[in-house]
Structure 1
Amino acid sequence: MRDVDFDAVRTFVTAADAGRFQDAAAEFSITQQAVSKRIATLEKNLGVRLFTRTSRGAKLTIDGQAFLPHARDLLRTRERALASVRPGRRALRVDVIGRRLAPADLLRDFHGAHPGIALDAVTLFDADAAVDAVRSGSIDASIRAVTMPGQRFPEDVRSTRVYDEPIQLLTGPAHELAAARCAAPADLAGQRIWMPGIVPGTEWAAYYEALAAAFGFTIEVTGPDFGVEPLLDTIADSRTLATFVGERTRFAWPADHGLRRVHLRDPTPVYPHSLVWHLDNPHPALAAFRDHLRSGRFDHSGAGTWTPS
């Protein structure tokens, strides 16, 4: 079939189910002659006869019987394709950086508050890719650390700060700070903060570079990045290595690792997550998502916190 006439396919399925062209005509509020014309065009396009006329109505030929399940599949596929891009029917697509990180947790929290809204979480590489995807419409929103709007964003893109996430120090049980409930960022001078997953040029690399410069310590990125589990294994066995994690970062490790989360205070470094969206995005769930994130329940900003200038 060079060109699919979906009206003809739908008419064929309806006529096949009803067994009469007259019933199909009534279903679509058209004449019986129009039904016959649609079926004839479809038969010409396919190169086969789909119906034979009988005294009792229309009966499927062998080719008609063979085509019927595929015609149903064709209509279902078309409906799914339309629903995937139809605001109000498709899922709200949100970029969350990583599925173990705070943005994914915020999206799960929104789903708990609005279980009837369909969601689709995607993971893009960095803020530039996220802004491009927001502009193209391939995603509806992104939760990212971004520079001030106007310094970087096109005019049709908006952002608002939605969550300042406290940063914590993660150590093994033998580390000198493992027994501390809290530490100041200035106390980390001379410590080996190992973060092999940092990629130069990304927004998270810029954040941790600014953090290290502000408090006089060095973040090491040497060595291959084999993923989260090898990182945790190394930290658990080390007396000298530690790493940073967000307060809402979801990690699970074996009980014998004995890893410790140490709160940072005076000041508390917070990672600034912003919601990014297109000004003209029509998805009806986007406003509900913005309102949910701006409700104040995620606010950790204010006195005693630090973010890059």
Structure 2
Amino acid sequence: MDLDTVRTFVAVADAGQFQQAAAELTVTQQAVSKRVAALERTLGVRLFTRTPRGAGLTIDGQAFLPHARELLRVAERAVASVRTGRRPLRVDVIASRVAPSGLLRGFHRAYPDIELDVVMLFDVETAVAAIRSGEIDASFRAVGVPGRPLPEDIESVRVLDEPLQLLTGPAHALAGARSVPLAQLAGHRIWMPGIVPGTEWAAYYDDLVAEFGLTIEATGPNFGSDALLDTIADTPALATFMGEHTRLVWPAGHGLRRITVTDPTPVYPHSLLWHRDNPHPALTTLRTHLTAPANGHDVPGTWTPGWVAP
């Protein structure tokens, strides 16, 4: 059903005259007559009768009028739902406990009036496809996996270099250390179930292992962070890497230790990705918020893989 004909019908019904409706719609009276006639043909009924005082609704016109008004209201809501700045900003944070989720929470605290939809997508290909299709507005990712450049229509900006820490149980050989040089971790078993080949974090840890001779084990099923913490707490021979900004809560009896890694400190590079033609005004606000802090990248004493975008 043509909404212009419906809108014209409502205008004539409200005005009671074709001529006045034409003036309100800024079209000719002939155009109004043609639209009403077209709507009557579509519905198969007469909607108006001509009277000396103008146009009166028929019984069918009276029955159709409230539905016509509702059609126009629905159309207005549909347009408003996608109008620039009217819909929530939809952002992928990968997972709820990791640094990108914290970055977006900080943005929400700074701009509580900006509506957000938070989604969690697993891999970079899915995230990029969702950005290009308009399913999401932005995604946090590590940019620059070897052999997989971003499409030309996808922009990125590096927003956070997150230091990795060593997480151990109370009986681990390094549990009493305040800090540990990265080279000293060679020979220790670092257990990280859930590293999936082909992901950006798998590429990151592959390079870390190759450069510093570490042993990272990704064997066994991934039962989530709670099960990982249980195992690390109970197994003196195992440790794991954890992002400094990863939010975890464990029972007091676990006695887990977060230990700073130095010389160099491996940092995980988080970038924000978006489509260059995305007009959502809140996207600009998000980018400005994330890049405002004085957060240096590639600073002395830190390490990132060579493929990471500067």
Shared fold (TM-score, shorter chain, > 0.5): yes
Q: Hey, what's the Cα distance between the residues in 2 that align with 1:200 and 1:247?
A: 23
Which residue matches 1:127? 124
How far has the Cα of 1:229 moved from its partner?
A: 2.6
The question of whether the paired residues in 1 share the 8 Å contact of 2:48 and 2:55 is answered with: no
Q: Secondary structure at the match of 1:212?
A: helix
Give CA-to-partner distance per residue, 1:99-151, whole Å, 9 cap, x none.
Answer: 32211221222222233333333333322333333334433332211118997
Cα pair distance change 1:124/1:67, threshold 3 Å: farther
Give CA-to-partner distance per residue, 1:177-233, whole Å, 9 cap, x none.
Answer: 333332222222222222111110111101111112222221111111222332233
Which residue matches 2:92? 95
Which residue matches 1:180? 177
Which residue matches 1:204? 201
Which residue matches 1:302? 299
How far has the Cα of 1:38 moved from its partner?
A: 4.4
Selected match of 1:68 from 54, 66, 69:
66
Give CA-to-partner distance per residue, 1:221-278, whole Å, 9 cap, x none.
Answer: 1111222332233223332222222111222334443333222222211001122233
Which residue matches 2:228? 231
Cα pair distance change 1:62/1:256, threshold 3 Å: farther
How far has the Cα of 1:164 moved from its partner?
A: 0.4
Q: Hey, what's the Cα distance between the residues in 2 that align with 1:179 and 1:104?
A: 30
Cα pair distance change 1:8/1:128, threshold 3 Å: same
The question of whether the paired residues in 1 share the 8 Å contact of 2:186 and 2:212 is answered with: yes
Selected match of 1:144 from 141, 144, 154:
141
Aligned AA for 1:209? D
> Is 2:153 the counterpart of 1:163?
no
Query: Over aligned residues, Cα RMSD in angstroms?
Result: 3.5
The question of whether the paired residues in 2 share the 8 Å contact of 1:13 and 1:68 is answered with: no
TM-score (norm 2): 0.79
The question of whether the paired residues in 1 share the 8 Å contact of 2:10 and 2:68 is answered with: no
Cα pair distance change 1:202/1:33, threshold 3 Å: same
How far has the Cα of 1:28 moved from its partner?
A: 3.7
The question of whether the paired residues in 2 share the 8 Å contact of 1:168 and 1:246 is answered with: yes
The question of whether the paired residues in 1 share the 8 Å contact of 2:161 and 2:269 is answered with: yes
How far has the Cα of 1:292 moved from its partner?
A: 1.9
Q: Secondary structure at the match of 2:183?
A: helix
Runs of 5+ in structure 1 lacking a partner?
Answer: none
Aligned AA for 2:233? A
Aligned AA for 1:6? L
Cα pair distance change 1:247/1:59, threshold 3 Å: farther
Cα pair distance change 1:33/1:164, threshold 3 Å: same
Cα pair distance change 1:250/1:8, threshold 3 Å: farther
Q: Hey, what's the Cα distance between the residues in 2 that align with 1:43 and 1:232?
A: 70
How far has the Cα of 1:304 moved from its partner?
A: 1.3
Aligned AA for 1:265? T
TM-score (norm 1): 0.79
Aligned AA for 1:88? G
The question of whether the paired residues in 1 share the 8 Å contact of 2:145 and 2:203 is answered with: no
Runs of 5+ in structure 2 lacking a partner?
Answer: none
Q: Hey, what's the Cα distance between the residues in 2 that align with 1:169 and 1:126?
A: 24
> Is 2:272 the counterpart of 1:275?
yes
The question of whether the paired residues in 2 share the 8 Å contact of 1:191 and 1:240 is answered with: yes
Aligned AA for 1:138? E
Q: Hey, what's the Cα distance between the residues in 2 that align with 1:60 and 1:105?
A: 61
The question of whether the paired residues in 2 share the 8 Å contact of 1:168 and 1:262 is answered with: yes
**Identical-pair percentage:** 62
> Is 2:2 the counterpart of 1:5?
yes
